[in-house]
Structure 1
C-alpha cells in the first residue's frame, strides 16, 4: 500500500477498491489483479467473499488463498481486508431467529478468518446480521435486549478466533436498516463500547451510501459528518460510492449523484480520518457488459484518486 503523503497541510488519503465489481466476472486473482494494477492504477484492494466461499472444502480454500497471496505480491497489491460480500449478506446471519442458523453464520466467519490468514489478509468484516420483519410490517427502533446480548457475546467469541488466526482487526459495517445493527451513531458507539477489550479490536467501516440514506435519517441529519466526527476513534476504513441518498445505490462516479469526491475528501480530513483507507464499493447488474464496466471504473478511479490525493 502506498505510504501516506503529506503535501503542505494536505494529507493524501489512501484509496483502493472493493472487489465487488468482479463478482461473476473476474473471479480469480489471475483475472482481477492485472485489472486493478494496470487498468485502474491501484495498489490497494478489499477482497470480497463473493469470490471465495469460506465453506468450500479446505483443499480448495487453501489453494485459492495461496494463489491470492502470490498474485497480490507479484502485482504489488496490498489486500487490506476481506468483506463478507453480497451473497452472504443476503442471509440474516448472526441475528437469524433460529439460533442454529446463527451458530452456522458464526462458523462461516471463523472459516472466513482462516482463509484470510492463509491469504495474508489481516482484517475481516461486514454487516453482522438482520432480525426478521414483523408480520404487520412495522419495524422496531432497537434490537431485543436478548438478541443484542447474544450478538455481543458472539462478537467476543469471534475475536478470540480471529486472534488465533493472527488477524489484526475485525469490522462492523453499519447499515441503514432498523432490522440490522447498528444503524445509528449512538448504537454504533454502544456496540464499540460493549466489545472494547475483545481479543482482536472491533472497528467500524461506514459507507457513504448508508449514512446518507434520507428515508431513514431524514434530509437534515448531517449525512456522514456525525458518523465521522463522533466515531473517528473507532473508524479505520470507509466505503465510498455514488448515490442519490434515496437508496443504497453503489453507483460508480460516471453516474450523476449527490456525493462530491472533493467534498468527501475535505470531510475526511476535517474529521481526522485522512489516514483511514477509502474503498470504492460498486455493484453492477450481472447482465451489464464487462467492457463498459471497466471504462466506467477507469474514469471513476482517476476522479477519486485526484480528489483524495
Structure 2
C-alpha cells in the first residue's frame, strides 16, 4: 500500500457551475487529473421527489464509472448546513433534519457511495450574543440519540461509515478535541461506525483556540484512531477561509503531508475543499484549481 495519502477533491467548487455528473466528472478527471472525490449534497437535494433523486443517483454512479472516478463519501454541503440541523431550537426541525439525512443515505447507497457525513448541527445564538463553552447536556444527549438512530438507518441503507466534521464554533459540537473524543466514545456502539473528518481550517482557528493552535498536530495526534478523512484548504488561521492554493496562507502542502505521516494518518484520504464567490468567472476558477491540485499532487506524490 502506498505511503502517501490518497488525494481527492470535494465537489464544493462545483456549486452553481458544474452541477450535473456529465459536467463535473470530466472536470475532475480530465481538467484536474484526479480520480477520487467527495460528493456534495449542494448538487442534489435528497428531499427532491424520489424518482428525481433516484435518477440523479444513477447518473452519478454512471458518470463515476465511465470516468474512472471513486466516490469516497458524500458530505452535506453548505445549503443544508445553514439550517442548524439536529440542534435547531424547534424539535420538529430536528426531526426533519434526521429525515433529511436518512434520505441522503438512500441517495448515497443508490449512487454507490458508502459513506455520508458533515457537521451535525448548531444551537441558536442567545439574544445577548454571549456564547457558552459548550451546548447543554440535554441538547448533546438528544443529538447522540439521533446519531445512534441514524446509525441504524445507515445500516439498513447499506452504508459502511458515517462522519461528523468538527467545526470551530462554540454553538456546534464537537469543537474541541475532548468533545470529539467524548462523542466518538458515546456513539461507539452505533450500528454503522461514526468517524471524524477533520478540516485544516477548523482546528487552526486562532480567534477561538488561541495562538497555540497554529497547527493541526494536536487534533491528529489525539484522534488518529477515529479520523479517517481530512479536508485541506489554504487559510490564514483567522477565519475558515477555504481558499485554494493559489492564495497566500499558512498551509504548506509538503508540511501537511509530513504532519499526516508523523501523526500516523498517512493512509487517510485528503480532500481539497474550496469555495468560491458565485460571481467569480468559471475559467479563472478552473485555472486556480489546476494549479492547486498540481501543487498538492506534487506534495503528496
Same fold (TM over 0.5): yes
Q: Does residue 88 of the first structure (1) align with residue 80 of the second (2)?
A: yes
- For the residue of structure 1 that corresponds to 2:198, the secondary structure is coil
Could you report, residue by residue, the CA deviation over 1:73-130 in whole angstroms, capped at 9, with x for unpaired residues?
Answer: 0100000000000000111000001100000000000000000000000000000000
Identify the residue that residue 65 of structure 1 maps to in structure 2.
57
Q: How does 1:1-309 map to 2 (within 5 A)?
A: 4-5=1-2, 11-221=3-213, 223-309=215-301
Q: Is the 8 A contact 2:206 2:214 kept in 1?
A: no
CA distance in 2, matches of 1:125, 1:12: 24
CA distance in 1, matches of 2:59, 2:123: 37
Deviation of 1:223 (Å): 2.4
Q: Is the 8 A contact 2:12 2:42 kept in 1?
A: yes
CA distance in 2, matches of 1:150, 1:105: 13
CA distance in 2, matches of 1:222, 1:295: 29
Could you report, residue by residue, the CA deviation over 1:3-62 in whole angstroms, capped at 9, with x for unpaired residues?
Answer: x42xxxxx1110000000000000000000001001100000000000000100000000
Could you report, residue by residue, the CA deviation over 1:228-278 in whole angstroms, capped at 9, with x for unpaired residues?
Answer: 000000000000000000000000000000001000000000000011000
Identify the residue that residue 8 of structure 1 maps to in structure 2.
none
- For the residue of structure 2 that corresponds to 1:124, the secondary structure is strand
CA distance in 2, matches of 1:103, 1:259: 38
Deviation of 1:222 (Å): 5.0
CA distance in 1, matches of 2:234, 2:226: 24
Aligned length: 301
Q: Is the 8 A contact 2:214 2:237 kept in 1?
A: no
Displaced runs of 4 or more, over 4 A: none
CA distance in 2, matches of 1:47, 1:196: 25
CA distance in 2, matches of 1:171, 1:223: 22
5+ residue gaps, structure 1 = 6-10
CA distance in 1, matches of 2:186, 2:135: 15
CA distance in 2, matches of 1:198, 1:220: 34
Normalising by structure 1, what TM-score?
0.97
Normalising by structure 2, what TM-score?
0.99
5+ residue gaps, structure 2 = none
